[in-house]
Amino acid sequence: MVTARRPLIAGNWKMNLDHLQSIAFVQKLAWNLKDAKHDAATVEAAIFPPFTDLRSVQTLIDADKLELELGAQDLSDNDSGAFTGDISGAFLSKLAVKYVIVGHSERRTIHLESDEVVASKVAAAHRNGLVPVVCVGETADDLEKHGPSAVPVAQLKAALAAVPSSAEIVVAYEPVWAIGSGQAATPDQAQQVCAALRATLVDLLGADAAASTRVLYGGSVKASNIASFMREPDVDGALVGGASLDITEFASIIRYQNHVGV
């Protein structure tokens, strides 16, 4: 059965905000959304704080029944054992974490995560009841050499190699050249690649799963451009980095449906 895709706005804080700052931030974000009468049934909002903030944020979300989902920025591909510094998906699951980012370009570049490692982390997320937000995207060099879709499509195929077709996943198309650069893709570029990724999901998972899987765009998303991405038929939300650290800006991105002209 094909399910309607609820848009998802996901805020990746990267290595910003300690646990005390995160509590203040989440309280203010929730007040802002409540004041604006944001309805989480229409647009889901999720935040991805650093590991050390997760327990504090989870306690706050639970206690105040906030309509925010919790995500982690990475996980180990192992569930336990001698892996100093790594974080198990089982531990994240215990903290009521729903989503986990896998294969972010910063992990692929700085931590040299290969497609195989990404696939193994996607499998670990699934095994532990977490929904992986699988990041794919081409560098400026890839774009010039191979065009916009080839690298993201190949990365997606590799990432899903070890999970069953029934696994819930979210895909995030993040052109590396657009991340943190202030130079977002055009809505048309984003649509083109997101459509190619959805076609790949049809091949890998079947038509129904592809139709219900959310494909996000990420890369210099702001309040001023989110509505134009969300008008595209294959863009189901955004993975937001820098702009997710500004409460008013992030709340406005979440409330894109209220923007003039949408």
Give the nearer residue to ligand PEP in terms of CB position, either 88 or 105: 105
Q: How near is the Cβ of 230 to ligand PEP at its closest, in Å?
A: 15
Of positions 12, 73, 192, 225, contacts ligand PEP by CB under 6 A: 12
Rule CB under 6 A: is residue 194 a binding residue for ligand PEP? no
Element (H, E) at 63: helix 54-64
Catalytic residue list contains 144: no
Tokens of 37: 């009468």
CB–CB of 262/34 below 8 Å?
Answer: no
Minimum CB–partner distance for residue 253 and ligand PEP (Å): 10
User: For residue 238, which of 199, 116, 224 has the smallest C-alpha distance?
Assistant: 224
Backbone angles phi, psi at 115, to 5 degrees: -60, -35
Q: Find the helix packing angle between 187-205 and 150-159, rounded to 10°.
A: 40
Tell me the closest approach of the beta carbon of residue 219 to ligand PEP, in angstroms: 5
Q: Which is nearer to ligand PEP, 209 or 243 (CB)?
A: 243
Binding to ligand PEP by residue 174, rule CB under 6 A?
yes
- Print the binding letters for residues 223-252 with ligand PEP: x by CB under 6 A, - otherwise: ----------------xxxxx---------
Task: Please name which of 199, 197, 195, 176 lies closest in space to residue 187, comparing C-alpha atoms.
Answer: 195
* CA distance to 14, 73, 106, 179, 227, per residue, from 139 (Å): 20, 21, 12, 10, 25
Candidate residues 220, 225, 228, 252; the one interacting with ligand PEP per rule CB under 6 A: 220
221 binds ligand PEP (CB under 6 A): yes
- Interface residues toward ligand PEP, by CB under 6 A: 12, 174, 179-180, 218-221, 239-243
Residues marked as catalytic: 104, 174
